């Protein structure tokens, strides 16, 4: 589950970013870290204007805003450190792995177009484990 209070988002995150997966909600890039790994970059994509349009208002997220990922393993809280726009063809660079535990959200930009990607980056500020069975 992803929770972004600033934009009122509270939605289940599915595994995968293929066409079918993203019709059901925001999707975890399977080649990126899981939040409970304790390091690395977690990547999540979401539609902006189609299907459930979970990231419709992602452009309203501000530096310092909180993003939470709630999983069977625990709750992971991130603080937004950067938001920016890249051409669609170069946006994959934001998914490169890091040692530092970070979160990257990606969506199309501008609204109703897909020539660019809106990127939100956030750093892990708190993790509370629950000993469950993961995502």
* Closest C-alpha among 25, 24, 42 to residue 33: 42
Instruction: Kindly tell me if the per-residue pLDDT of 38 is higher than 60.
Output: yes
Whether 47 and 36 have beta carbons less than 8 Å apart is answered as: no
% of the chain surpassing 70 pLDDT: 96
Q: How confident is the model at residue 133, as a pLDDT?
A: 53
Report helix, strand or coil for 128.
strand
Is the entire prediction scored with pTM above 0.95? no
Structure tokens at 46: 């979401």
Spans of all domains in the chain: 2-129
Average pLDDT for 43-65:
97
Whether 122 and 79 have beta carbons less than 8 Å apart is answered as: yes
Domain at 2-129, CATH from 3.40.50.1220, 2.40.260.10, 2.60.40.150, 1.10.3720.10:
2.40.260.10
> Kind and range of the H or E element at 43?
strand 41-45
């Amino acid at each position: 589950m992803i929770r972004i209070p600033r934009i009122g988002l509270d939605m289940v995150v599915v595994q995968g970013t293929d066409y079918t997966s993203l019709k059901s909600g925001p999707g975890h890039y399977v080649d990126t870290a899981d939040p409970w790994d304790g390091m690395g970059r977690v990547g999540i994509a979401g539609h902006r204007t189609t299907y459930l349009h979970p990231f419709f208002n992602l452009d309203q997220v501000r530096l310092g805003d909180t993003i939470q990922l709630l999983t069977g393993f625990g709750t992971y809280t991130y603080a937004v450190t950067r938001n920016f726009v890249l051409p669609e063809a170069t946006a994959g660079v934001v998914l490169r792995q890091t040692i530092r535990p970070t979160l990257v959200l990606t969506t199309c930009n501008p609204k109703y177009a897909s020539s660019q990607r809106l990127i939100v980056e956030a750093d892990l500020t708190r993790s509370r484990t629950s000993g469950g069975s993961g995502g």
